[in-house]
Amino acid sequence: EIVLTQSPGTLSLSPGERATLSCRASQSVIHNYLAWYQQKPGQAPRLLIYDASSRATGIPDRFSGRGSGTDFTLTISRLEPEDFAVYYCQQYGSSRALTFGGGTKVEIK
């Protein structure tokens, strides 16, 4: 099973600042099959990024993903008030199990 480790656990930033979230895999993610999700309190997760760097439908371009192999990054270029939430990475390259990272909470400083 591929283990995904997200860091930091919590990111304290102000609106307008840049957020950089990390997701590290215990082994290489085949075809960079990695997605990012946003979850707000009391809501279901929402797909943001897939295949490491492609934005899902309707996702603003301030969200970007990059990386390959075992190291992946989600960047929010300028935080809007609605971006404060928890973010999860997920890999789907394994042939036996999907896995999620533990999450990064982006909170208002």
Kindly state the smallest distance separating residue 15's Cβ from other proteins, in Å: 25
Half-sphere exposure of 10 (CA within 13 A, CB side): 4
Kindly state the smallest distance separating residue 14's Cβ from other proteins, in Å: 25
Q: Which residues neighbour 82 within 8 Å (Cβ) at sequence distance 6 or greater?
A: none
> Whats the size of the chain, residue-wise?
109
22 scored as a contact of other proteins (CB under 8 A): no
**Do residues 49 and 74 lie in contact, with contact meaning Cβ atoms separated by under 8 Å?**
yes
Q: Which of 22, 33, 70, 75 binds other proteins (CB under 8 A)?
A: 33
Site for other proteins in 66-105 (CB under 8 A): 88, 90, 92, 96-103
Query: Cα dihedral sign for 68, 50, 4, 27?
Result: negative
Interface positions with other proteins (CB under 8 A) = 1, 33, 35, 37, 39, 43-47, 50-51, 56, 88, 90, 92, 96-103
